[in-house]
Chains A and B, each alone.
Chain A
């Protein structure tokens, strides 16, 4: 069986990842994330507002190894690339080795605002 973590995810995170700190409750762990902040557009009444949709990928095995379970994701503080964000939602990206060996994409919001 191909080990996608060793052969795919780990080399990619070595190249593209940045150091991050995830704070969930009283637990603070260091991990590597890939910044996935994207441009986004909201529309109302035919008028568009341009902004960004902050996000970050993390490896679920790395989170699990640091004691971060899925129940800890929501409202955790994720700091990377000089900014701190709040996890407002997340989506799981399964791997051929199973979702527990895949990635999670954290959907973030500004930490200083509601």
Chain B
């Protein structure tokens, strides 16, 4: 079995856990406590297949999956610290050999790609200032039903 999507998500958690100063990394955990910060959460997110006409039902198809990554900064960090985390996150994901191999080798043509789509930031107050960033990446891989 070769579930490329699952392999990408599992590797993504490993990669984001190496962001410097991160205390805890999670997958699909939407309930974090302040003691777990600085924290990063990988959300499985969505995916969409590029529909091709006149092909067998179980033909390989290129899929674009868009997992979400949410980073919560540590209480004494400010906006510039979040920018540093953003840089680390983008570099870690786009240049990770494991992730690039997963998307590239999923397709016989090797045309899988990883793209950074953007981010949104949130600020607020609790015991300290709340600073967070939600980022999205697009992983384009070949879904080969025969290998599932």
What is A's interface to B at a CB cutoff of 8 Å? 40, 42-54, 88, 107, 109-110, 113-114
Residues of A within 8 A of B126 (CB): 40, 42, 49, 51-53
Chain B residues within 8 Å of A, Cβ to Cβ: 29-34, 37, 39, 41, 43, 68, 70, 72, 75-76, 78, 120-122, 124-130, 132-134
In the assembled complex, 9 residue pairs joining A and B whose CB atoms fall closer than 8 Å, in A order, are: A40-B125, A45-B70, A45-B134, A47-B32, A49-B34, A50-B31, A53-B127, A113-B75, A113-B76
Partner of B127, one of A45, A47, A52: A52
B32–A49 touching, CB < 8 Å: yes
Asked whether, in the complex, the Cβ of B72 is within 8 Å of the Cβ of A49, the reply is yes
Contact A109 B43 (CB under 8 A): no
- CB A47 to nearest CB in B, in angstroms, measures 5
Give A46's nearest chain B residue, CB to CB. Answer: B30
Alpha-carbon separation in the docked complex, A45 to B134 (Å): 5
A45 touches B31 (CB 8 A): no
The residue in A44, A52, A53, A88 that gathers the most chain B C-beta atoms within 10 A of its C-beta is: A44
Given A49-B34, A113-B76; A44-B122 close (CB under 8 Å)? yes
A43 to B136, CA, bound (A): 16
**Residues of chain A within 8 A of B30, CB atoms compared:** 46-48
B122: chain A residues within 8 A (beta carbon): 42-45
Q: Do A49 and B37 have beta carbons less than 8 Å apart?
A: yes
Complex contacts, B132 vs chain A, CB 8 Å: 42, 44-45, 49
Minimum CB–CB distance for B14 against chain A, Å: 19
A10 to chain B, nearest CB (A): 30
Taking a contact as CB atoms under 8 Å apart, the answer to whether A44 and B133 are in contact is yes
- With contacts A48-B32, A113-B75 known, is A53 near B125, CB below 8 A? yes
Q: How far is the CA of A48 from the CA of B39 in the complex (A)?
A: 11
